[in-house]
Amino acid sequence: MSRILAIAEQRDGALKRISQEVVTAARQVADGIGGEVDVVVVGAAGIGAAAKALGNYGADRVLAVEHEALGAYSPESYTKAIADQVQAGDYFAVLFPATAVGRDLAPRVAARLDVPLASEATALEIEGEELVIRRPVYAGKAFVDLTLDAAPRIVSVRANIFRAHESPREATVETVAAEPQPSKARVREVHAGAGDKPDVAEATVVVAGGRGLKDPENWKILEDLADALGDGVALGASRAVVDAGWRPHAEQVGQTGKVVSPQLYFAVALSGAIQHLAGMRTATTIVAVNKDPDAPIFKVADYGIVGDAFEVIPRLADEIRNARG
């Protein structure tokens, strides 16, 4: 029983970036036990061919559950498709991405197979013959190291923690027949939002603002900074501005919002309440801009500028545009 299963995620037929991270994590565990990495991807026809590229990150075999009715996530169909593959495979561990879909799917698969689930892992280590999982609790105010007394060990891994690492090999691709399941939940309407910014929990760069910005209109300076930083930058917000109705809750970072670990986090005109700090302190590089030199945010920031955001941020956007050429 030395195989690891990584669950890949696709959207509109393209693999999501976090799939590379899940395979990277699976490769690391497999190398620790001398095992191999399988990938399961569920989607419309052709998704297996797209997932072959996960060989670059250490996948040995891709199992593609393909069906025209499975292009979009359906809890019932995806739970069955993945639970069937897990049961067929005698796996040591199964790794899910801790995304919106993964958080819906992993608990169902675990319950169906009657095994526990460790959510949102930030470290995986093989000690002896056991997999030791580290995960944050209280939104990162503490961590717990745990093991799972079950087989397979089901774990979801947090975005941006297991940075994609190349370990190239030629992955084989096998297509598996799917049986779409009926659902008692039906999407009736979809409303496109204002932008197509990535989820703040999955973005590699986050620009977050607080009450010091004084008015929701002033978010345009953060949007401009986000544009200057390039594609895939998400906006974040403090609890205070979400409670004030300035920004949607989906952007809230902290214990009552999302916990994020981007490579670069800008905290603009937000003081850094303890529950906000809990949600972003695992970012690789933190930049704080605040008028108050005593703001708690400066205690976790790698780089700080004491000053007025309305003067500093537009200048920062200009300089970053120049630096990026």
Partner 1 sequence: MNTVVCIKRVPDSEARIKVAPDGQSIDPTGLKFIVSPYDEFAVEAALRLKEQSGGGETVALTLGDAAAGEQVRSVLAMGADRAIRLDGEGSPDGLSVARALASELRELGPDLILFGMKAMDDDQQQVGPMVAELLGLPCVTVVAELEAEDGKVLCHREIEGGTEVVELELPAVVTVTKGPYEPRYPSLKGIMAAKKKPLEEKPAEVPASRIKVRRYSEPPARPEGKIVGEGPDAVPELVRLLRDEAKVL
| Residues in region 140-179 near partner 1 by CB under 8 A | 140-150
The CA-atom distances, in angstroms, between 168 and each of 78, 89, 171, 247, 278 are: 28, 23, 9, 42, 36
Cα–Cα distances in Å, from 170 out to 14, 40, 51, 242, 288? 20, 16, 12, 47, 44
Beta carbons of 313 and 235 less than 8 angstroms apart = no
Scanning 56-64, 87-95, 101-109, 171-179 for contacts with partner 1 by CB under 8 A, the matching segment is: 101-109
Nearest approach, Cβ of residue 65 and partner 1 (Å): 19
Binders of partner 1 among residues 15 to 54 (CB under 8 A) are none
| CB 144 to partner 1: min, Å | 5
Quick one: 246 or 298, whose CB is closer to partner 1?
A: 298
Structure tokens at 180: 């779409």
| Closer residue to partner 1 in complex, CB, 129/184 | 184
CB 38 within 8 A of CB 63: yes
CB closer to partner 1 out of 161 and 320: 320
Residue 177 or 184: which CB sits closer to partner 1? 184
| CA dist., res. 321 & res. 238, Å (int) | 26
Beta strands 14-15 and 10-11, pairing class: antiparallel
What number of other Cβ atoms are within 10 A of residue 245's Cβ? 9
How far is the C-alpha of 267 from the C-alpha of 237, rounded, in Å? Answer: 9
Q: Which residues in 227-246 contact partner 1 (CB under 8 A)? A: 242
Nearer to partner 1, 36 or 76 (CB): 76
Residue whose CB is less far from partner 1, 168 or 245 = 245
Would you say 37 or 255 has its CB closer to partner 1?
Answer: 255
Q: How far is the CB of 108 from partner 1 (least distance, A)?
A: 5
Residues 91 and 4: their CA atoms lie apart, in Å, by 6
Pairing of strands 3-7, 93-97: parallel
Out of 136, 210, 236, 272, the residue judged to bind partner 1 by CB under 8 A: 136
How many chain residues touch partner 1 (CB under 8 A)? 93
Question: Which residues between 244 and 303 bind partner 1 (CB under 8 A)?
Answer: 248-250, 252, 254-256, 259, 263-264, 273-275, 281-282, 284-287, 293, 298-303
CB 131 within 8 A of CB 147: yes
Q: Cβ of residue 125: shortest distance to partner 1, in angstroms? A: 11
Q: Which residue in the set 129, 189, 231, 294 belongs to the binding site for partner 1 (CB under 8 A)? A: 189
